[in-house]
Structure 1
Amino acid sequence: MSKIHLFMLKFPFHLLLLLSVIVPFQVISQSENTEQTILLTLKHELGDPPSLRSWIPSPSAPCDWAEIRCAGGSVTRLLLSGKNITTTTKNLSSTICNLKHLFKLDFSGNFISDEFPTTLYNCTNLRHLDLSDNNLAGPIPADVDRLETLAYLNLGSNYFSGEIPPAIGNLPELQTLLLYKNNFNGTIPREIGNLSNLEILGLAYNPKLKRAKIPLEFSRLRKLRIMWMTQCNLMGEIPEYFGNILTNLERLDLSRNNLTGSIPRSLFSLRKLKFLYLYYNRLSGVIPSPTMQGLNLTELDFGNNILTGSIPREIGNLKSLVTLHLYSNHLYGEIPTSLSLLPSLEYFRVFNNSLSGTLPPELGLHSRLVVIEVSENHLSGELPQHLCVGGALIGVVAFSNNFSGLLPQWIGNCPSLATVQVFNNNFSGEVPLGLWTSRNLSSLVLSNNSFSGPLPSKVFLNTTRIEIANNKFSGPVSVGITSATNLVYFDARNNMLSGEIPRELTCLSRLSTLMLDGNQLSGALPSEIISWKSLSTITLSGNKLSGKIPIAMTVLPSLAYLDLSQNDISGEIPPQFDRMRFVFLNLSSNQLSGKIPDEFNNLAFENSFLNNPHLCAYNPNVNLPNCLTKTMPHFSNSSSKSLALILAAIVVVLLAIASLVFYTLKTQWGKRHCGHNKVATWKVTSFQRLNLTEINFLSSLTDNNLIGSGGFGKVYRIATNRLGEYVAVKKIWNRKDVDDKLEKEFLAEVEILGNIRHSNIVKLLCCYASEDSKLLVYEYMENQSLDKWLHGKKKTSPSGLSWPTRLNIAIGVAQGLYYMHHECSPPVIHRDVKSSNILLDSEFKAKIADFGLAKMLANLGEPHTMSALAGSFGYIPPEYAYSTKINEKVDVYSFGVVLLELVTGRKPNKGGEHACSLVEWAWDHFSEGKSLTDAFDEDIKDECYAVQMTSVFKLALLCTSSLPSTRPSAKDILLVLRQCCHSGSTCRRAGNEFDIAPLLGDTRYIYSYKE
């Protein structure tokens, strides 16, 4: 008997039984350990991200790891979405595909860069692949069909470019294809029509695709449920087959394209269709009548097209309709009463049309209305009685119509109301008392009606904006107004208010704008100002105010706009006004005396002190008597004549000496500055005193001094004669075929820009012009461009831009734009405002630069036709797509993009999911109700600044509104930014911020994009 057999006989039976159990267990553990090893290797390839620190070897691993799903003891799902993984696809070997049973791989929401990972071709069982929201670039491989088992493919929100490969049409199992928000520049492949199992197609936000019609082959996608093709550069008509063949469609989004023609009637035969979005196209004709019963449409958006005709009454058959958007078309006729019978209707927007008649009297009675926006039409009659029956109404926006009569009592008993905007109508009578004290009301705009009666004894504290200008309100400015402790904007101009300005009004710490012009107010201005730390605008002209200008007014830190004209104010102007930074000051038509403060002895304030017979100035160019003349003692006639002769002789001698000195200096200066014995070849236009020499100027235009270059030429840093001082010299290459007329226009524009004087605009010191080139000499900005600090290498430096610095930069740029748009005569439009044209000095003070595209306007607000597209991509407003007539609102749009860069840290051409630009990403982020703090730049995200950053983000949205007329002016922007600077100076959590939309009076999108 062998030793082994002998051993088995002696071995206890229970140990043999235990051994029989252990052996198979060890086999299974070895299998699990193999997948565990694969995943640990993968973790290392991914750079050992902290988010995967829980991946630790153990007997139960990897199936107990949060990111892993197993079936039958094998890994089937690898879920790594949003794990902050930063790597390249080159670091990904075929390790993943060693997981033989893996069918779902999710890498979305990370920072994976480089090209499409072709190593995944080895994953033979992969059915679900999600690589969205990463930094992948380059083309999608032409042989992508090697992933033949895929049923789900999401490559959205990356930087893929080139053609969408036709091979995608060779994935027979594909049910979901998402390629949204990339940089594809080819055509939409018709081969997608071969995907007979496709249910979801997302090609949205690929505006670089070649303009083309919707492929006819898409008619074969009979299983398609969702077609999401927003902003794909589609053209032509919507195919009729959509309604006849694609009968499974539940969501159709063709918005923001160039579609023309009429809306197919067959769309209203799709019984499963719930969401139909065709807004922002060029669709024309009438809205088709939905004649079929049983349709499931819940959202219908035909806004911003050129639809005509009336609203079909058959829309009342869409019993599931929740949202109806027909705004900004050419619709006319009456609003059909059938709409008031829709039981689910919540959002009703038909503003900016030509609708007439009255609102249906039962509107709101049978549904739960949330928003009604009917502004800018020709509607008349009274507001319906039942709009708030459902108790959910938050907005009544009905301005610029012909409504009349009294405001109904229900409007004062609707606790959900957040805004009432009925300005520019014919309403009359007293405002229902309950409206003033409505608990949630933030914005009340009643201007330009015939409302009368006294102001209320109490206003609820949540109200931030009250506009009652151009009505017939009478009596005193009620102390009750001061109960609105959150009040930001109060405009009561041109009423019949009387009495004194209540001292309690100065307790409103958040008030930024106070307008009481054109009333019958009397008495003195409040001598004690308690809490007006945020007040930036005070207009009290055309009243009967008396007394002196209180010294307390000179310590208001934000005051920039002051109008006290046409009153009876007397006494001297407080000398402390010297310290204030006014962008507008008007003290004319009063009884002021003495001299004006030194700060105002310049032409910028030449019209600020008119009609004050006892005022004087030292600057003879200011339209006031000269203080020296007023104080000169009286002489006899003979003495006066003698003195006059002596003074005349002195003047003649001084003029002769000055002429001689000027001629000598000019000759020497020309010899020193033009250099290389080519004085005659350079035409010099000087705007500031320079101290450059031949050696360090013309001879210094070398590569050693080069600091920038572009299509225009090169920029050099040149040392002056003063130690440590420099200028920036921009050398512009001339076109040889430039005619004399264009040359004269260029020099004329340079001269105008050279005479612009503002602390937030880079100084143009002089211009050298020759046949071959032009040299523009600017002041040198030590910290270069904002673009480099936000998006360049400086972004990662320890001294990167903090939020307070960014906010100050925004205020500086706004001050420059305000000067250009409102103070220059004629006004200046920059046309290329962007972060690379915003320069920073040694103290990070912002200055606007590069006026190479600037044009003059004869009158502010009047459009000026430009012959060619100007500006930079990412900053160009949408109106450039359909019009060459532009005004100052193009600068406002571009500045809005800069504000988004400051808040988010993102580049103007890089948005996020569903968007191809920063502007679109920001609007999408806001409209989807996402937390705004998630949009903030991680480098500066701080709870202490959340209030300010939120307000600036919202301001940026208003600046980038698609309609120029809804964008704020530079004046409004400056006021808001200054308010932001003071509203968030203490640490407060986001959510307590003031609402930026009521602050600017925004009406159109206040609820369309409500957070």
Structure 2
Amino acid sequence: MKLFLLFFLFLLLQNPNFAISLSPDGLSLLALKSAVDQTSDVSAFSTWNENDTDPCHWSGISCMNVAGYSDPRVVAIAISGQNLRGYIPSELGALIFLRRLNLHGNRFYGSIPLQLFNATSLHSIFLYGNNLSGPLPPSVCHLPRLQNLDLSQNSLSGSLSSDLANCRQLQRLVLSGNKFSGEIPDGIWPNLDNLVQLDLSSNEFNGSIPADLGDLKSLSGTLNLSFNHFSGEIPRSLGRLPVTVSFDLRHNNLSGQIPQAGTFENQGPTAFLNNPSLCGFPLQTPCSGNPPKSSPVDQQNRETVPDTNSKKGLKPGFIILIAVADAAGVAVIGLLIVYIYWKRKDSGSCSCTGKGKFGGGEGKKFCSGACWNSFPSNDSEVESDKGGSSSGGGGGGEGELVAIDKGFTFELDELLRASAYVLGKSGLGIVYKVVLNNGVPVAVRRLGEGDGQRYKEFAAEIQAIGRVKHPNIVRLRAYYWAADEKLLISDFISNGSLASAIRGKSGQPSTTLPWSTRLKIAKGTARGLAYLHECNPRKFVHGDIKPSNILLDTDFQPYISDFGLNRLISIAGDGATSSGPGGLMGGALPYIKPSPAERVNNYKAPEARLAGSRPTQKWDVYSFGVVLLEMLTGKAPEFSSPTTSTATGATSDLVRWVRKGFEEENLLSEMVDPMLLKEVHAKKEVLAVFHAALACTEPDPEVRPRMKTVSENLDRIGT
């Protein structure tokens, strides 16, 4: 305080009116300005005027009115990333109502002044990324409200004091990247009931890992003790930590077997790397007490050793039993063949001549595995001499099968005779799975029996769609046009849609979609959508991005489907619209009742719900953002407002809920899909995708990024 008084007298002599105008909090702050070297860029203090009555309008300063005081009091200092060089003055301890001190990302040097902890209202201290040295003052825990202490990336040294046990309100303790050393004393951690984050990495701690770290019941994220000199065995008590905790114990001198209970069962091998004397699962290093794996030679030797206890030969009764079973099997197969023969012979409604209409209407018999035209498209039976394939042109009764992909050739008769199975039906037509003679499955969409007079327009549109070739977009291979029938033939994608992967076949959340797979789907979908927007002459707008239009193969590679269908249906004149559920073009699963979100298309951008609005690429960006949020949270777009009428569109409910959670700094675990909580090693990746989704779902379409930018940002995540 003597320095403070000397500083005050100096200012008083320089300006006699100064003490009358500026508040005491302002005087204390001017000590910080004076502590910064003049060689630094002091533009951060350009608004700090000693002639002001209070410092509340100074840059980086926040104030609040406090009962019993006429002047507002300083509650926060935030001057970060300014590359300021200087020391932290002890006068800041006189700010008794200071709650938040944020000076990170500068070049402050020297020790942390003990007088700073006289500011007993402090609950957050962020001094990381400076050049501070000296010990961590034990009096830091004299702050009764201290919740966040981040001193990482400095040059602090010495050992940790057991007085840390008095920081009972502490939630985040980050001391990584310093020069702390010595053993960590016992008895600290059981008292820190509220500790959520602990990072002691990249220091010089030694000795054993404290067993009472297992008492941190509120810990989440990563327990980071990496890049130290810890030795001895890993305490089994760490298995008592919450299952959402990930370990990072790399680059230490730990030894012995990794415990196999509790939280340890959720850890991957990277958590324990570079501990040469550590063994056991999940590392590839077996412990000496474990029996060695048998070599192939040993197995072969054991197989060649005769079994002296076994009986030689088979009993006669057993031989008779085998013969009877063989005879019964042959009889069953023969009966099955006869049944199939008479079943096909009696199937009068299945005309396999290759003539007649494609597909069928409701209520009629469908001959799966037989032929297509067994399923007439109206109530009257199909006449066997009507239709047929020809190379005739576009608008008459004659049909034309046109291959867009020249390497994909087959005959119309082959298509009509192939085995067919209904995949789904919607406002975008009926979709079938068809297996061609060569065993290749394709998806066939029947658009209906609309106007037959716009063939040239239809062909031009479909040729433009057919030129779109991308690994994450369903390929259109061919089409069939006749006056009373229009078909689209595309690749068959065998693992259903993202909708079924997220919600499962029953509509309930899926448990089989890990984070790595979700990130893969997000990246692939973004690449495909960016290609549609920018990497082809047409600059397509999809207009209907939602989970049911994102198909997955067996490797969970995503494929965007159904783009351009609205236009084709409009030309075909069927009168169908996209108001129905997703059509699953190319999809593999049987028709699944869509969620309410998809029935009313709650993936639409706000401006897309206005009457007369025309689709834009920013619509697709918004819809993709909602899909990302659904993958991240596991919640449907309308989840949070069951009382809201879906007619008004409840998509923004999910968007607003996530946005509000970030504004209020809620824990990520409160928003993320519970199925992902076991993969907290991906926390940074999840957070990055959240930010990408929020950018995509900005209410103002002009603020939303281009899909190309979104794709590039996603591709950088996890690499």
Higher relative contact order (Cα pairs below 8 Å, separated by 6+ residues): 2
Superposition TM-score, scaled by structure 2 size: 0.48
